[in-house]
Structure 1
Amino acid sequence: MDYVLGIDAGGSKYLVKAATLEGKVIGEYITDSSRLYDDESKYMRQYVPEIVYEALEALGLDSDNCKYLVCGSSGVDSPQEQLEFDEAYAKIGLPCPTLVVNDTEIALYAACGGKGVLVIAGTGSIAAGKNSKGESTRTGGWGVDINSDQGSGRDITLRAMLYVSYYLDGIIELEESELVKMIVDEFNVDANWLSNFSGDFRSYPEVVKKVPIMVDRAYEMGDPFAEEIMHRTIGALSWLGTATADKLKLAEEESFKMSLWGSVGLKSPHIYPNVKAVWEKKYPNVEVVYPSCGAADGAVKMALDNLHEGIDHSDKKYKEER
């Protein structure tokens, strides 16, 4: 049976999805992305072929029948990285075109059909877009260390921890902020804990997952610090979308789509509707769509479209598009 593969190789999971040439899903295989990183968080691309063949075996598929592979991966952010990823996936040895792109591209394909603007707000944040001329661009995503992951889980968490520091410094009392009280109680925060966190916050993924939820709850209770964080987050994510749309001159097109993606953007009952309202107010020609499928589905759709259109990106050269 002939098939295509779509891979979502994000920061937390490595998901391989197979579909027939008619688009019917055959099955999927998922493993932890940590298998692709060494102890120093360096991406070990040499393990890619091993995992892909594990997936094929689990799904009962013959590698000779694969007709197209599209992988959206985190870490494809520069010409050198693109070359390294291309080489790693070429070593799988499949007898078909193989395309590796940044994971924002398959998410854009999943949410907007490959054209329009997608803002991703998860652990980090970034926006990607493409217009009807095929011109594409990205905005943000340079990392929270330079305040470029604005509106992300990390950004929200670090801003919340600033207010926790006010409590530890004796500037505010614990009873003055529901948000600060939630954080202190949940993580048993003291001066040592906050010092360790601020010096190595990437080693606290569970904190980054929980704090945005606490901000939502505290916001609903009228906490002033949570309100400030929420307004900043909505403004930042709205801006990522409009900045990307403006670069592509999408306001001049007959119509276009915009979408918000990621746990922070979609799980909060306050962020998505407010960002949507900002976009709809600025662009009369926009359709703001809620994602209806996952990133791996976007990779499958891209593979099928490229296959049916006879597009082979195997020898593509990376183009800087920021």
Structure 2
Amino acid sequence: MSYILGIDGGGTKTAYLLADESGRIIDQYKGPTIHYMQCGYDGLTSTIKEAVDYFINKQKIHRDEIAYCFVGAAGYGDIEEDKEFIKQAIAKGLEGIPFAVDNDTFNAHAGALLGQDGICVIAGTGSIGLGVNKDQSIICGGWHHAFGGDEGSAHWIAENYIQEFTKQSDLRSPRTLLYTYMKDKYNFNNDSDALQQFIVDWDYDRTKIASLSKDVYELAKKKDSAALAIFKKAAYELSLIYRSIYKQLDYQYKIPVSYIGGVFQSKEFILEPLKEYLHDLNLEFVTPKFSADIGSLLIAYKYLGIAIDNTLVSNLETFHNSL
């Protein structure tokens, strides 16, 4: 039996799926990010090797039984000169397993739209979009968070949350539940304790900061006006990604558009304003068919020439629906 390995390397965590040629998921594994700017090339190698060794040891299979692997890697392609170094680091981790690698937008798009033309936007720790129209594709967004990029992402939402707290502290903005919520949750004696908490104690860690977006979701459920405004701003920023791709690819027909990433788990707080911002375009929002890790499997199957038929899709659905 031959096995297929799909890897979805996001900005916070990495998901690994081991499947057979019929789409039956054999095992799964979760690990830390493989974004090379966060873990380094050596970290990328060791993280992937650890996951592969896990599958080999647990399933009692040989490395050469893994016929192919597709790696969706956040950050891949951002800096052209780094692509070869990323490939080399992945190759060391896979130790002889044939593979292909591309930006994680490609496997997200493949999973969400099952290979159809259209647009998929990822809004997790970071944000980025991919549009496909026949033989053309365009990536939009994904600029580094250090200078305010990754608009609409969990990290961006969290930064706006902290910024709003500082404004409410100074009375530059009217105080809402957001102000007391942050103070109480993080046990601030003084408002300036936010600096100690997020910059010193957390070292302004990207993943930890992004996790604050969950606070904004909780506040939105309580109808906090500041939190709702942050989500509306995030939706607007994400709408610009869809709109830019739509215009550049010059779609001449109604296209499906989808979405993947933790920000979209905020449901109506992000999706309703997003759809409103895009109401003038000839597109249809569709629920993502599969997750990005399954998207990596789908791309690997295509590289091997394995047909994405009803049986394979049905087997993948069995796993997806069990999550």
Normalised to the residue count of structure 1, the TM-score between the two structures is 0.81
**Aligned mate of 2:129, from 114, 127, 130:** 127
Query: Does residue 1:53 correspond to 2:50, yes or no?
Result: no
| Distance change in 2, residues 1:57/1:37 (3 Å) | farther
Displacement of 1:37? 7.7
- Is the 8 Å Cα contact of residues 29 and 59 (structure 1) preserved in structure 2? no
Aligned to 1:209: 211
Q: Deviations over 1:247-273 (max 9, x none)?
A: 2112x1x34221121111233432123
CA distance in 1, matches of 2:97, 2:203: 43
Aligned to 2:315: none
Say how many residue pairs are matched: 299
Displacement of 1:117? 1.1
Displacement of 1:122? 1.6
Q: For structure 2, which runs of at least 5 residues remain unmatched after alignment? A: 308-323
Query: Does residue 1:308 correspond to 2:305, yes or no?
Result: yes
Equivalent positions of 1:76-95 (< 5 A) are 76=76, 77-91=78-92, 92-94=94-96
Q: Deviations over 1:229-263 (max 9, x none)?
A: 2221121111111112212112x1x3422112111
CA distance in 2, matches of 1:172, 1:30: 41
Displacement of 1:161? 1.8
| Distance change in 2, residues 1:231/1:16 (3 Å) | closer
CA distance in 2, matches of 1:257, 1:182: 39
Q: Deviations over 1:104-142 (max 9, x none)?
A: 21111100124321111122211122211x211111111
| Distance change in 2, residues 1:198/1:170 (3 Å) | farther
Q: Secondary structure at the match of 1:264?
A: helix
Aligned to 1:237: 238
- Give the CA RMSD over aligned residues: 2.8
CA distance in 1, matches of 2:230, 2:97: 50
- Is the 8 Å Cα contact of residues 164 and 184 (structure 1) preserved in structure 2? no
Equivalent positions of 1:14-163 (< 5 A) are 14-33=14-33, 41-44=39-42, 45-47=44-46, 48-76=48-76, 77-91=78-92, 92-94=94-96, 96=98, 98-114=99-115, 115-132=117-134, 134-163=135-164
Q: Which amino acid aligns with 1:307?
A: L
| Distance change in 2, residues 1:55/1:86 (3 Å) | same
| Distance change in 2, residues 1:172/1:69 (3 Å) | closer
- Is the 8 Å Cα contact of residues 160 and 180 (structure 1) preserved in structure 2? no
Displacement of 1:206? 4.3
CA distance in 1, matches of 2:187, 2:16: 39
Q: Deviations over 1:278-320 (max 9, x none)?
A: 43x2333x2321123221110101111221179xxxxxxxxxx
Q: Which amino acid aligns with 1:181?
A: T
Q: Deviations over 1:68-109 (max 9, x none)?
A: 21011123122222211222233334354x101111211111
- Is the 8 Å Cα contact of residues 216 and 268 (structure 1) preserved in structure 2? no
Normalised to the residue count of structure 2, the TM-score between the two structures is 0.81
- Is the 8 Å Cα contact of residues 4 and 303 (structure 1) preserved in structure 2? yes
| Distance change in 2, residues 1:185/1:248 (3 Å) | same
Displacement of 1:170? 4.8
Displacement of 1:204? 6.8
| Distance change in 2, residues 1:172/1:297 (3 Å) | closer
Q: Which amino acid aligns with 2:40?
A: K
Q: Which amino acid aligns with 2:120?
A: L
Q: Secondary structure at the match of 2:72?
A: strand
Aligned to 2:11: 11
Quote the sequence identity (%).
25
Aligned to 2:187: 188
